[in-house]
Chains A and B, each alone.
Chain A
Amino acid sequence: MKGLTSVFYRLLIRLILLIPVVLAVVTIGFILIKLFPGDPAVLLAGEAASPQYIERVREVYGLDRPIWEQYLRYLEKVIMFDLGYSLSYKRPVLDVILTRLPYTIILAVSGLSIGLILGLLLGIVSAWYRKKLISPIISSVAFIFYSTPVYVLGQFLIYYFAITYRVFPVGGVVTIGVEHSNFYAYILDVLWHLTLPSITLGLVFMASYVKLTRSSFLEVLSSSYFLAARSMGLRTSTLILKHALRNAIIPVVTLAGVQLGMLIGGVIITESMFSWPGIGQLTMEAVSTRDYPLLLGIFIFTSVAVVVINAVVDFIYGVIDPRIKDRW
């Protein structure tokens, strides 16, 4: 029980330390609003709004008050989770974001998982057989994938698998106009639509994981403790599974955790390409409809989410690796 409370305590401290960073991020959001060319009231109310509405917006947001007041009001709103009102959706921004969030999460997690698994496997193979031909081949292939932008790779996949050979759908999350007989049919349909986008993401991520896994694994293989373990006559399976893998995986998993955070804001292109209704696509919509409140709300939301996720990942890393436990 003692261990558990100390863990909780540490997490709390971590989260508390986040506050200045979150504050900084939120402030940047405020600065961005201030930097908009033009009258902020007009921006917030929408260009097509009536003068009376604009005046009301000005009042509500306190735009005629001194900067400090505006800033404080802004902070107040953000703390109350009020991110404004979306012009195009006619709903609170936070609502809109939260509706779309699950889709992005599903895509991000699947893409990352595929990339992680492929990357780990290939990286380990590449390291274990480093003398054979397969190793440089894997490295070269991974390098090419790494240098290929997501919208190039995705389009090729679409071209082959969705158009030429109609194996997968071209986009969207469910087949339009189809009534699903039961829940499972629905899930299957979604998964079918999920395949291409997550494979695309996965392939792009795989590349960085291959490189990292390979070097991490090689480092472990050439370490003193591995040598000693070998000298003890341990079986190959024991050596790899219990003595090498656990140690080698740590940097890779850390990277994955950090990337997961970045992904929440960053799958914009993939979502555009595959018409996947997540936050990325929402961003593009906001851009094209000039829905500034929504855009800003997305920015604040995702930035704060990334910061929090990074802190949590950092913390989990501390729990997994017993060496770091004593740091706090």
Chain B
Amino acid sequence: MIRLKPLLEVRELTVVYKVRDTMKYAVKNVSFTLGEDEVLAIVGESGSGKSTIALSIVGALPENAVVVRGRILFKGVDLLRLRPSERRDINGKEISIIYQDPIAHLNPLRKVRLIFKDLFEDHGVEFNIQKVLELLRKLKVPDPQRVLESYPFQLSGGMAQRVFIALALVLNPKLLIADEPTSALDLTIQAQVVRLLREVRESFRISMIIITHDIGVATSIADRILVMCDGELVEEGSPEEVLLRPKSKYTANLVNSTKTLYEGVMSWVY
């Protein structure tokens, strides 16, 4: 398969957390690449370091975290070596991230429309409300006008997640990172969000990194899956390879522990 120049290249990323007086390795020597229009899922249990990778890419690591080694190359530029202002230019515009629990991640005291406005203006783009409305409609948000005039706490979980996704997509980024996009939601809404993400992928042809502990979610949407355990990358492959022919013992256990196989696997198989 001919691979074009990768969009994102992570090389030997090593991140350490300072807890009290000890240091704990969150991510150990992780390397992978991501091409254009490719969806990557990083799967692992809590504490495996998967979220840390996502946070490192957008520079949102907590204060006690230190990147001790590695490079994150986005379109050839090492993100870790950029100045904060340069990073800010990229965040939101070229690389976006959506987090778990959408309502908690939206400023409760700021109207949705104004949050969009901030996003546009701070990136030097004129505020185009039509584009926002169109995007919301595309994301199946009923009555987008009213949603724009609401405060985040007035929205339901699924609605807030769509708003969040809209915020992430409105400036046409090349890469969308979703950190546990389904974890805080009800089961039925989870399925909706997974479907939504798939549609986003189809419509916008953007690259995505989905961080999740749910293998079912990963297999239903990703082209490739990375499995993390204790900060190390233990497996890499297509959904079929990971599910049916796992190379590592950990992955095998992980797959076996998953009691229910989601619609994703079924839809892939059939």
Q: Which residue from chain B places its CB closest to the CB of A227 in the assembled complex?
A: B60
Contact with A along B90-126 (1 / 0, CB 8 A): 1111001101010011111110001000110111000
- The residue of chain B having its C-beta at the shortest distance from the C-beta of A237 within the complex is B122
Q: With A and B bound together, what is the CA distance between A221 and B227 in angstroms?
A: 32
Binary A-proximity of B173-213 (CB < 8 A = 1, otherwise 0):
00000000000000000000000000000000000000000
| Residue of chain A at shortest CB distance from B98 | A228
Q: Please give 14 more A-B residue pairs, beta carbons under 8 A apart, in addition to A225-B108, A228-B99.
A: A224-B99, A224-B104, A226-B107, A227-B99, A231-B58, A231-B60, A232-B92, A232-B122, A233-B89, A233-B93, A233-B119, A234-B88, A234-B92, A234-B119
Q: A224-B99, A225-B107, A225-B108 are in contact. Are A233 and B60 (CB under 8 A)?
A: no
Q: Which residues from B are CB-within-8-Å of A231?
A: 58, 60, 91-92, 96-97, 99
A325 closest partner in B (C-beta): B151
Q: Is the CB of A247 within 8 A of B89?
A: no
Q: Is A10's beta carbon under 8 Å from chain B?
A: no
Does B17 sit at the interface, judged by CB under 8 A?
no
- Chain B residues lying within 8 Å of A246, measured Cβ to Cβ, are 109-110
Q: Are B123 and A233 in contact (CB under 8 A)?
A: yes
Q: Please give the distance in Å from A219's CB to the nearest CB on chain B.
A: 13
Interface assignment of A34: CB less than 8 Å from any CB of chain B: no
Query: In the complex, what residues of B have CB within 8 A of residue A224's CB?
Result: 99, 101, 104-105
Please indicate the chain A residues that have their CB under 8 angstroms from the CB of B121 in the complex: 238
**B binding-site residues for A, Cβ under 8 Å:** 58, 60, 63, 87-93, 96-97, 99, 101, 104-110, 114, 118-119, 121-123, 151-153, 164, 167
Question: Complex: how many Å from CA A212 to CA B166?
Answer: 35
The listed residue (B90, B108, B122, B167) touching A235 by CB distance below 8 A is B122
In the bound complex, do residue B88 and residue A243 qualify as a contact, i.e. CB atoms below 8 Å apart?
Answer: no
Interface size of A in residues (CB-CB distance below 8 Å): 22
Closest Cβ neighbor of B111 among chain A residues: A322
Closest beta carbon of chain A to B79's beta carbon, Å: 12
Query: Which residues of A sit under 8 angstroms from B108, Cβ to Cβ?
Result: 225, 247, 323
- Between-chain CB contacts (< 8 Å), 21 pairs: A223-B104, A225-B104, A225-B107, A227-B105, A228-B99, A229-B107, A229-B118, A231-B91, A231-B99, A232-B92, A232-B118, A233-B87, A233-B92, A233-B119, A235-B122, A242-B118, A243-B107, A246-B109, A322-B109, A323-B108, A323-B153
A230 and B59 alpha carbons, distance in the complex (Å): 9
CA distance A234 to B123 in the complex (A): 8
* Distance, CA A234 to CA B88, complexed state (A): 7
Q: Chain A contacts of B105 at CB under 8 A?
A: 224-225, 227-228
A220 to B122, CA, bound (A): 20
What's the Cα separation between A235 and B123 when bound, in Å? Answer: 9
Measured CA separation A6–B257 after assembly (Å): 56
| Residue in chain B with minimal CB distance to A246 | B109
Distance in angstroms from B101 CB to nearest chain A CB is 7
Q: Which residues of B contact A229 (CB under 8 A)?
A: 107, 118
Inter-chain contact total with CB atoms closer than 8 Å: 78
User: Please, which residue of chain B has its CB at the minimum distance from the CB of A222?
Assistant: B62
Q: Which residues from B are CB-within-8-Å of A226?
A: 107
List of B residues within 8 angstroms of A322 by Cβ: 109, 151, 153
Smallest CB-CB separation from B167: which chain A residue?
A232
Most central of B58, B104, B122, B152 by chain A CB within 10 Å: B122
CB contacts (< 8 Å) of B90 on chain A: these are: 233
With both beta carbons as reference points, the residue of chain A lying nearest to B99 in the complex is identified as: A228
What is the CB-to-nearest-CB distance from A320 to chain B, in angstroms, rounded to a whole number? 9
**In the assembled complex, A47 has its CB within 8 A of some CB on chain B:** no
Of chain B, the residue at the smallest CB distance from A321 is B109
- A232-B167, A234-B122 known; A225+B92 contact, CB < 8 A: no
The interface residues of chain B lying within 8 Å CB-to-CB of A321 are: 109
Tell me the bound Cα distance from A230 to B167 in angstroms.
13
A75 CB to closest chain B CB (Å) equals: 44
In whole angstroms, what is the CA distance A321 to B96 when docked?
A: 30
Which chain B residues lie closer than 8 Å to A232 at the CB level? 91-92, 96, 118-119, 122, 167
Closest Cβ–Cβ distance, residue A248 to chain B (whole Å): 10
Query: What residue of chain B has the Cβ atom nearest to residue A223's Cβ?
Result: B104
User: In the bound complex, do residue B122 and residue A247 qualify as a contact, i.e. CB atoms below 8 Å apart?
Assistant: no
Give A290 to B52 CA distance when docked, in angstroms: 72
Residues 307 to 321 of chain A near chain B (Cβ within 8 Å): 321
Query: Looking across the interface, which residue of chain A has its beta carbon closest to that of B105?
Result: A228
CA distance A232 to B110 in the complex (A): 15
Of chain A, the residue at the smallest CB distance from B154 is A322
A242 touches which of B87, B88, B93, B110 (Cβ 8 Å) = B110
Interface residues of A in 279-328 (CB under 8 A from B): 321-323
Nearest chain B CB to A135's CB is how many angstroms away? 14
Measured in the bound complex, the distance between the Cα atoms of B92 and A60 in whole Å is 78
Report the separation of the CA atoms of residues A2 and B29 in the bound assembly, to the nearest whole angstrom: 61
Mask: chain A, 202-229; 1 = CB below 8 Å from B; 0 = not: 0000000000000000000001111111
